[in-house]
Amino acid sequence: MEHLQGSPWLLAHRAMLKPNQPQKFALLGQDYVLWQDPQGTIAALPNACPHMGAMLSEGWCVTQPEGSSAIACPFHALEFDRQGRTILPGSSKQTKALLPPLELVIQGDLIWTYGGYEPKVPIPELMNAIAAEYEFIGVTGERSMPTDILSLLLNMHDYNHQNGTHRELF
Ligand code: FES
């Protein structure tokens, strides 16, 4: 396995998630849908609907009576809550979780996850210190590509990137 199981992954800054606008992201070979409800609660579920596999990130959010949001599938509009439960047509009862939620760690405005693995490496405090000093103004691009682990580490932990440089680290 090339991935660093047990390492924290920074998924997003809270400002990247407009309330009730689902976002797709990929982590460790899995696609997820991430959304923030109007109360600021953030949730993530696998991105494939358990009915016929539609991408939930192409669906929409439905505000529940208590204020949280469920995600509605774009194919047949089944609505899944943060725990991955739904109410099937003709039933008034909630199902058990049909989609396992991705566990998130929210630190301030930063959204982290261990990708469902046992945490082995602490979340670096440096990122929170940086986030506290700067105002988030946006992202420069959204693109993922396969790479070898050494390049990934260099890019993920090269804090010179904030200065826009790509010079040798050491
Ligand atoms: S594919 Fe999602 S409700 Fe049918």
Best mutation site among 52, 58, 60 for ligand 1, i.e. most ligand atoms within 8 A of its Cβ? Answer: 52
Nearest residue (by CA) to ligand 1, atom 4, is 76
Question: Which residue is listed with tokens 């602490």?
Answer: 122
| 48 Cα to the center of ligand 1, angstroms | 9
Q: Average pLDDT over the chain, rounded to whole?
A: 87
| 85 Cα to the center of ligand 1, angstroms | 13
Whether the predicted pLDDT of 3 surpasses 70: no
Write out pLDDT tens, residues 81-134: 999 999 888 888 999 999 999 999 999 899 999 999 999 999 988 888 888 888
Which tokens is 75 given? Answer: 């194919």
| 159 Cα to the center of ligand 1, angstroms | 42
Domains of the chain: 9-163 (2.102.10.10)
Q: How far apart are CA 159 and CA 165, in angstroms?
A: 10
Q: What is the DSSP string of 27-90?
A: ETTEEEEEEE-TTS-EEEEESB-TTT--BGGGSEEEE-TTS-EEEEPTTT--EE-TTS--B-TT
Which residues lie with the beta carbon below 6 Å from any ligand 1 atom?
49, 51-52, 54, 73, 75-76, 78
CA distances from residue 3 to 52, 116, 147, 149, 153 in whole angstroms, order as listed:
29, 13, 11, 8, 11
